[in-house]
C-alpha cells in the first residue's frame, strides 16, 4: 500500500500532454498478491497542453477511483478551467468519467463556451487502443446547447469523430447532428454538417437542414491568418415558407455570403450580402415575384444595412438602409429607413393582401418610412416612427361606384401604443344626449387652436364618391400595432365644414370603431344641386353631430345618437320645395309658388343594433304665432334599417354619377 498526502511536481511531459506544476492529494494505492490493485487520488495542475495542438487548460482538477475487483474500471470526475482551442474559450468544463476495457465514457458533460453558451451531453464515449493505424472513435448523444441569452436552444445533438494520433500530432474529423434548434424563435431541424480541422482552420462542410419549411445547405470556414481569426460562410435555402393568420410568405431562394474577423465581440466583424429571389406574398397565383438584396456589415454587436433594395420584375426598386444594435441580446434595437418609394410598386408587392378595391385600383405618388423598434424579435417589442406621404392619388370603384382620392400629403405617426380617447364622451357626461351645448364643446376640442402646435398632419385635397365630394381634408393620424386613431379630422363639405375623431381597434379582427362627426354650416342647396332629380328640394344651412360605434362591416352592431338643426345664414335662405313637401306629407295652411319658407328644422334620433330611429323630425314655419308649415315624424313609421339606408345611399351615388338618379318618397 502506498499513501501520500501531498506529491508535487514542477512540470512533466510525454507524447500526449505537457503540464506545468501540479499536486497529487490523498493518494491511496493498494496492490495485493494477485496483482489486483485499487486507487483513490485527487489532483490539480496548471498549464496543461494536449497533443501539442493548441488545446490547453489554464488549470484542471481530477478525482480518480478504482476498486480491486476492476469490474467498474476506473471512474472519477474531471474539471477544467479556462480551456482554449483555436481561439475558442471554455471557462468551465465538467465531466464524470469511466474507463473500462479501452472504452472511455464521459457522462453529465457540461462545457461552457465563452460569450456563446453552454453545451451538455449525457453520454460521450471513446474507443481507445484499436491497433496501429486504426483511428480512435468518439461518439456522443443526447446533447443540448443553450446560448445567446436563450435565443438559441438546441436539443438532440449527437456526433461521431475519428482521431488519428501520430506521436504528438493528432488529426481528426467528424460529423454533427442536431435534431432541433430554436434560433431566435425560428425552428431549425435535421441539421447536420461535417467538421474538419487543420493546423490553422476549421471547415464546416455539407451543411444541411430544414429551416422555415425549406432546405438549407452550404459551408463555412474558420481560418487563422497571422494574428486574426477569419470566419466566412456561404449558405442558401430554398422553398422556405412563412404562414400566419394574417399573411403567407414564400421566400423563394435565399443566398447568404459573409466574411468577418472573430474577436472579442460575439459577432464576426466584417461584411456580407443577403439575396432573396422570387419572394412572393399572399395568394401565390396572383402575387408578384420580387427580389430583395441587402448589403450589410457588422460593427461590435450592430448590424448595419448599407444598401438594401426591393425589386420587382419590372426592375423598379425600393431602397432602404438601417441598423440593428445589440443584435444578440434582449435590448435589440432596429432602425429602418425606406426612402421615397413608389406606392405603385408597394401595391404590386402586397396586392394579394390588399382589399379588392385597392388592388384593382390605380395609385400614384410616393412615401418614405422611418421606423425604430426596441426589443426587436422579442415578445415585449415596441416601435415608433413616421410614414411620410407625398403626392398620392387613388382611382377605383367601390360597390360599383366611382371612387377617387387626390392630393394626399403629410405624415402618419407610428407608435407602440396609442391612447384611445373620444372627447365627445367626456362632453356628454352622464346625460348621453347630443345637443347644441355638446356641439359647442366638441367644436372647441377638435379645432386647430386647441391642438398641439407641433402635431404632424395628413392633408387630402379631395375625395369623391358618386355624388359625395369632400375637399380640403386635414387630419392627425396615429397608428400602432392594432389600432388607428384619427385624433382630429377636418374638411370642407357642401360649403360647410366637418370636424371629427375616429378610433379603430383591429386587435379582435373587427375593426371596432368609435367615430364622432360634427357638421357646421352644411349647405342643403349644394347637396340637392349635386343630385339632378332632387334639385331645389330644400335650401338652408344646418349644423349637426353624430356619434357612432360598431364592429367591422356588421351593420347590426351600429349604435349611437345623432342630432341636426337649421341655422340662420346670410348666404342661403331657408326654403323647402313644394315637390319635397308633398313627398313628406306636409300640413300647410298657406302655400304660394314652388317653395315655402321655414324657420325651424330639427331632426334627432339614434341607431340601435343597426336600426335607425327618428325620435324627432320637425320642419315648420310661423307668422305672428300662426304656423303656416308643419312636418312631423310618424310615431309608428319612424325607423329604417342601416343596411337599407346604406343601400339607398350607394344607389344614389351610382345613379347620380350616371346622371339618372330618381328618388321616390312614401308618405
- pLDDT digits 0-9 by tens, 356-367: 777 788 899 999
Please, which pLDDT band fits residue 137 given cuts at 50, 70 and 90?
confident
Query: Is pLDDT of 3 > 80?
Result: no
pLDDT at res. 650: 63
pLDDT in tens, 603-645: 888 888 878 888 888 888 888 878 878 888 777 777 888 777 7
Give the Cα separation of 580 and 525 in Å (integer). Answer: 13
Residue 102 to residue 128: CA distance in whole angstroms: 5
Cα separation of 623 and 596, whole Å?
A: 13
Q: Decide: helix, strand or coil at residue 294.
A: strand
On whether the CB atoms of residues 589 and 531 are closer than 8 A, the answer is no
Residue 564, pLDDT score: 92
Nearest C-alpha neighbor of 255 from the set 288, 282, 279: 279
Looking at residue 378, its pLDDT comes to: 64
Of the pLDDT bands very low, low, confident and very high (cuts 50, 70, 90), residue 409 is very high
Q: Does residue 435 surpass a pLDDT of 60? A: yes
Question: Phi/psi at 526 (nearest 5 deg)?
Answer: -65, -35
CA separation for the pair 178, 370 (Å, rounded): 39
| Coil, helix or strand at residue 579 | helix
Residue 341: pLDDT over 60: yes
Asked if the model's pLDDT at residue 477 lies above 90, the reply is no
Angstrom distance (rounded) from CA 67 to CA 636: 104
Q: Which one is predicted more confidently, 55 or 80?
A: 80
Domain boundaries, the chain: 418-463+470-658
Kindly state the percentage of the chain with pLDDT values over 90.
17
CA–CA separation, 147 vs 471, rounded Å? 58
Q: Which has more pLDDT, 587 or 329?
A: 329
What is the band of 527 on the pLDDT scale with cuts at 50, 70, 90? Answer: confident
Taking only the tens place, the pLDDT of each residue in 147-203 is: 877 778 899 999 998 887 776 677 788 999 999 998 766 788 999 999 988 777 788
What pLDDT is attached to residue 665? 34
Backbone phi, psi, residue 419, to 5°: -95, 120
Look at residue 430 and tell me whether its pLDDT is greater than 60. Answer: no
Which one has a higher pLDDT value, 56 or 510?
Answer: 56
Collapsing DSSP to helix, strand or coil, 214 comes out as strand
Judge whether residue 548 has pLDDT over 50. yes
Q: What is the pLDDT of residue 200?
A: 76
Instruction: Reduce the DSSP state of residue 326 to 3 states and report it.
Output: coil
pLDDT at residue 452 above 70?
no
Distance CA 632, CA 602 (A): 10
Burial of 170 (0-12, 13-18, 19+ CB in 10 A): middle
The runs of H, that is alpha helices, within 328-467 are 343-350, 356-359, 423-428, 436-446
Of the two residues 397 and 130, the one the predictor is more confident about is: 397
Q: What is the mean pLDDT of residues 538-562?
A: 84
pLDDT for res 444: 66
* H or E element in which residue 656 lies: helix 642-658
* Least trusted range by pLDDT, from 55-59, 218-222, 274-278: 55-59
End-to-end CA distance of the chain: 122
pLDDT at 211: 86
Residue 193 or 49, more confident:
193
Residue-level pLDDT at 322: 93
Question: Mind giving me the DSSP string for 89-127?
Answer: EEEEEEEEEEEETTEEEEEEEEEEETTTEEEEEEEEEEE
Rg of the chain over all Cα atoms, to the nearest angstrom? 39
Determine how β-strand 333-342 pairs with β-strand 554-567: unpaired
CA distance 590 to 620: 12
Task: Work out the pLDDT band at 295, boundaries 50, 70, 90.
Answer: very high
Q: How confident is the model at residue 431 (pLDDT cuts 50, 70, 90)?
A: low
Q: How many CB atoms lie within 10 A of CB 663?
A: 13
Question: For residue 481, how far is the Cα from the chain centroid?
Answer: 8
Question: According to the model, what pLDDT value does residue 69 have?
Answer: 62
Nine cell digits for residue 4: 501520500
- Whether the per-residue pLDDT at 288 is higher than 70: the answer is no
Exposure string over 95-134, b if 16+ CB within 10 A, otherwise e: bebbbeeeebbbeebebbbeebbebbbeebebbeeeeeee
* Mean pLDDT of all residues belonging to the chain: 80
Rounded Cα distance between 399 and 427, Å, is: 36
What is the three-class DSSP state of 247? coil
Does 310 score more than 50 pLDDT? yes
Q: What mean pLDDT is predicted for residues 242-261?
A: 79
Digit-coded pLDDT (tens) for 575-588? 988 878 877 766 55
Cell numbers representing residue 363 in the block: 395609385
pLDDT at site 304:
93
Query: What is the structure's pLDDT at 132?
Result: 66
Tell me what the mean pLDDT of segment 451-480 comes to. 77
Please tell me the distance from the alpha carbon of residue 385 to that of residue 530, in angstroms, as a whole number.
Answer: 41
SS3 assignment, position 605: strand
Please report the pLDDT score of residue 592 as a whole number: 56
- Residue 479, H or E segment: strand 468-479
Q: What is the pLDDT of residue 230?
A: 85
pTM of the predicted model as reported, rounded to 2 decimal places: 0.66
Amino acid at each position: 500500500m502506498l499513501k501520500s498526502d501531498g506529491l508535487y511536481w514542477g512540470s512533466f511531459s510525454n507524447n500526449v500532454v505537457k503540464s506545468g506544476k501540479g499536486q497529487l492529494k490523498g493518494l491511496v494505492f493498494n496492490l495485493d498478491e494477485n496483482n489486483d490493485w485499487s486507487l483513490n487520488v485527487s489532483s490539480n495542475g496548471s498549464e496543461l497542453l494536449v497533443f501539442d495542438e493548441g488545446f490547453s487548460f489554464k488549470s484542471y482538477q481530477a478525482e480518480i477511483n478504482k476498486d480491486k475487483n476492476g469490474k467498474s474500471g476506473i471512474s472519477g470526475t474531471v474539471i477544467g478551467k479556462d480551456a482554449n482551442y483555436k481561439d475558442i474559450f471554455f471557462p468551465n468544463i465538467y465531466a464524470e468519467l469511466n474507463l473500462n476495457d479501452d472504452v472511455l465514457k464521459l457522462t453529465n458533460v457540461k462545457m461552457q463556451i465563452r460569450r456563446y453558451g453552454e453545451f451538455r451531453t449525457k453520454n460521450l464515449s471513446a474507443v481507445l487502443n484499436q491497433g496501429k493505424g486504426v483511428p480512435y472513435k468518439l461518439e456522443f448523444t443526447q446533447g443540448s446547447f443553450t446560448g445567446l441569452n436563450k435565443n438559441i436552444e438546441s436539443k438532440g445533438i449527437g456526433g461521431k469523430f475519428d482521431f488519428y494520433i501520430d506521436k504528438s500530432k493528432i488529426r481528426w474529423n467528424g460529423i454533427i447532428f442536431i435534431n432541433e434548434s430554436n434560433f431566435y424563435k425560428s425552428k431549425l431541424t435535421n441539421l447536420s454538417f461535417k467538421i474538419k480541422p487543420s493546423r490553422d482552420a476549421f471547415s464546416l462542410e455539407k451543411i444541411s437542414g430544414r429551416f422555415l419549411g425549406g432546405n438549407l445547405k452550404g459551408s463555412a470556414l474558420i481560418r487563422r491568418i497571422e494574428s486574426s481569426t477569419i470566419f466566412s460562410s456561404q449558405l442558401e435555402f430554398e422553398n422556405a415558407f412563412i404562414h400566419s393568420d394574417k399573411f403567407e410568405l414564400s421566400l423563394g431562394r435565399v443566398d447568404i455570403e459573409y466574411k468577418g474577423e472573430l474577436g472579442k465581440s460575439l459577432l464576426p466583424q466584417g461584411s456580407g450580402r443577403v439575396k432573396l429571389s422570387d419572394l412572393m406574398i399572399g395568394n401565390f397565383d396572383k402575387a408578384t415575384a420580387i427580389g430583395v438584396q441587402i448589403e450589410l456589415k457588422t460593427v461590435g454587436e450592430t448590424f448595419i444595412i448599407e444598401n438594401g433594395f426591393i425589386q420587382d420584375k419590372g426592375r423598379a426598386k425600393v431602397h432602404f438602409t438601417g441598423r440593428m444594435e445589440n443584435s444578440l441580446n434582449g435590448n435589440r434595437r432596429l432602425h429602418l429607413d425606406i426612402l421615397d418609394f413608389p406606392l405603385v410598386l408597394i401595391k404590386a408587392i402586397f396586392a394579394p393582401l390588399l382589399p379588392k378595391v385597392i388592388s384593382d385600383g390605380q395609385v400614384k405618388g410616393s412615401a418614405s418610412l422611418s421606423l425604430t423598434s426596441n426589443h426587436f424579435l422579442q415578445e415585449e417589442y415596441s416601435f415608433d416612427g413616421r410614414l411620410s406621404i407625398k403626392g398620392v392619388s387613388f382611382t377605383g370603384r367601390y360597390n360599383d361606384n366611382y371612387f377617387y382620392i387626390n392630393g394626399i400629403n403629410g405624415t402618419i405617426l407610428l407608435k407602440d401604443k396609442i391612447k384611445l380617447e373620444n372627447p365627445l364622451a367626456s362632453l356628454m357626461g352622464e346625460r348621453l344626449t347630443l345637443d347644441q351645448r355638446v356641439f359647442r364643446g366638441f367644436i372647441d376640442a377638435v379645432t386647430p387652436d386647441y391642438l398641439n402646435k407641433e402635431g404632424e398632419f395628413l392633408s387630402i385635397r379631395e375625395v369623391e364618391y358618386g355624388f359625395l365630394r369632400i375637399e380640403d381634408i386635414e387630419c392627425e393620424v396615429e397608428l400602432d400595432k392594432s389600432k388607428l386613431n384619427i385624433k382630429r379630422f377636418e374638411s370642407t363639405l357642401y360649403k360647410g365644414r366637418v370636424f371629427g375623431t375616429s378610433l379603430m381597434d383591429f386587435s379582435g379582427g373587427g375593426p371596432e370603431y368609435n367615430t364622432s362627426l360634427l357638421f357646421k354650416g352644411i349647405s342643403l342647396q349644394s347637396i340637392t344641386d349635386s343630385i339632378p332629380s332632387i334639385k331645389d328640394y330644400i335650401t338652408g344651412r344646418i349644423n349637426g353631430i353624430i356619434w357612432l360605434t360598431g364592429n367591422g362591416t356588421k351593420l347590426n352592431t351600429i349604435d349611437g345618437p345623432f342630432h341636426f338643426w337649421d341655422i340662420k345664414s346670410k348666404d342661403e335662405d331657408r326654403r323647402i320645395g313644394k315637390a319635397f313637401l308633398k313627398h313628406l306629407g306636409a300640413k300647410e295652411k298657406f302655400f304660394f309658388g314652388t317653395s315655402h319658407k321655414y324657420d325651424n328644422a330639427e331632426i334627432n334620433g339614434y341607431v340601435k343594433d343597426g336600426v335607425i330611429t327618428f325620435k324627432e323630425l320637425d320642419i315648420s314655419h310661423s307668422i305672428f304665432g300662426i304656423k303656416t308649415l308643419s312636418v312631423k315624424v310618424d310615431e309608428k313609421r319612424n325607423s329604417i334599417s342601416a343596411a337599407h339606408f346604406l343601400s339607398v345611399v350607394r344607389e344614389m351615388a351610382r345613379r347620380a354619377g350616371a346622371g339618372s338618379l330618381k328618388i321616390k318618397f312614401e308618405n
